[in-house]
Amino acid sequence: MSTESKKPGIDMKLEVVVIPVSDVDRAKRFYENLGWRLDADFVRADGSRALQLTPPGSPTSIHLDKGSALPRFLIVNDIEAARADLIARGVDVSEVFHRGAAGRITGPDPERPSYGSLATFNDPDGNVWLLQQVTQRLPGRVDGSSTTFTSSTDLAAALRRASAAHGEHEKRTDGHDANWPDWYADYIVREQAGSPLPE
């Protein structure tokens, strides 16, 4: 194995596995009866339904879907950097896209929300992987009392976002915030837990 292939890549967390079901509502009742947490159940801009549940204590969730294309979700902090890393490794990755009323729209979501910008690639056997950029969690997805980072890359990205937000905070308050470490910590924990961010 060459040294080049041993280089660490961009953090990509296996977060969601899509489960094919014949009746989404029946499957939802089944998994909720098992005590699995319901994270999301809503209709996306393109009309498709997003239904996610998580087993107790699991970092990985499931989506229930009637479709035939069943991607595995990899969560990244920076979709452009993740895409560039995969391309450098010889992977054929789609352009970044987002969902709209008419379906897939080329380019990242103009508002840059978490969960909004996507890209896909296939392995040699045709298994579909979907990259999804997440910087702030939806409420209830992560327990705020157990906020953790799995890598220095994740923590550094969170610190950069907190720094940019804190700069705006200092502009609004018209002065230096000597309590910036507490503000950063509060911002990062709230962002990861999907709670309202400090101003």
- Print pLDDT tens along the chain (199 aa): 444 545 666 778 888 888 888 889 999 999 999 889 999 899 988 888 889 998 887 888 898 988 666 788 888 888 999 999 999 989 999 999 998 888 888 998 888 887 889 999 998 778 788 999 988 766 655 555 566 666 677 677 778 888 888 888 888 888 888 888 888 887 877 777 667 778 7
Determine, yes or no, domain membership for 183.
yes
Pair 128, 160 in one domain: no
Nearest CA to 70 among 12, 19, 10, 13? 19
Determine, yes or no, domain membership for 138.
no
What gap in Å lies between CA 159 and CA 177, rounded to an integer?
16
Q: What's residue 150's pLDDT?
A: 61
Answer yes or no: pTM beyond 0.85: no
Determine, yes or no, domain membership for 1.
no
* Domain stop point among 89, 106, 133: 133
* Strand, helix or coil for residue 13: strand
Q: Which residues of 142-178 are buried (b: 16+ CB within 10 A; e: fewer)?
A: beeeebeeeeebbeebbeebbeebbeebeeeeeeeee
Q: What's residue 97's pLDDT?
A: 94
- Residue 101 has, within 13 A of its CA and on its CB side, a CA count of 0
Determine, yes or no, domain membership for 5.
no
Determine, yes or no, domain membership for 2.
no
Domain holding 18, by residue range, is 12-133
Pair 113, 181 in one domain: no
How many domains are contained in the chain?
2
